[in-house]
Amino acid sequence: MLQPVVGENLRCGCGKWQISGIPCKHALRVIYDQRLNPIDFVSPFFKSAAYKLTYADHIHPMSDPTQWPNFSLPTIQPPVIKRQAGRPAKKRKRGPNEPMKGKRNINVKCGKCREFGHNSRTCKNGGPSTGPSTSAAAGASTSQGGPRGRKRANTAT
């Protein structure tokens, strides 16, 4: 049973409660089942009393760097940048769950069998071909209503 004691080490198996100080969803489920107040289980660092103590005193800023104290520590220099061998990459490497960027749709639909995942060139099903190539080979006309192009004006002779 969870007890809202400040000194007690409250923990959950996922580890999020120990890291953040705020109960995770697993701990909240137990807290709600026992009809306890979840605010009692939040770390005291997130409560208003700690906030007020943090910002209670006023810090006076120094006017310029001449008032800064001197230390005999070496100055830290930035690391030396060494150029990598080879041609630089044009694109960034995408993560494993990030979709690929491209012009084409990921879902390719076959023109012969109407299934997703392949196109008519790589179709192994040999389904009924409904594309324009077979109807043109059979000699059937693909036009619906006459020749396309500029309309002719009816001239009465």
Residue 3 or 124, more confident: 124
Residue closest to 37 by CA, chosen among 47, 45, 28: 28
Q: Give bridge partners of residue 116 from the DSSP assignment.
A: 109
Residue closest to 13 by CA, chosen among 30, 31, 29, 26: 26
Sequence spans of domains, the chain: 16-54, 106-137
Average pLDDT in the chain: 76
As a whole-number percent, the residues of the chain with pLDDT over 70 amount to: 71
Residues 87-99, mean pLDDT to the nearest whole number: 82
Residues 11-27, mean pLDDT to the nearest whole number: 85
Tokens of 25: 């969803």
pLDDT-derived band at 118, boundaries 50, 70, 90: confident
Is the per-residue pLDDT at 94 higher than 50? yes
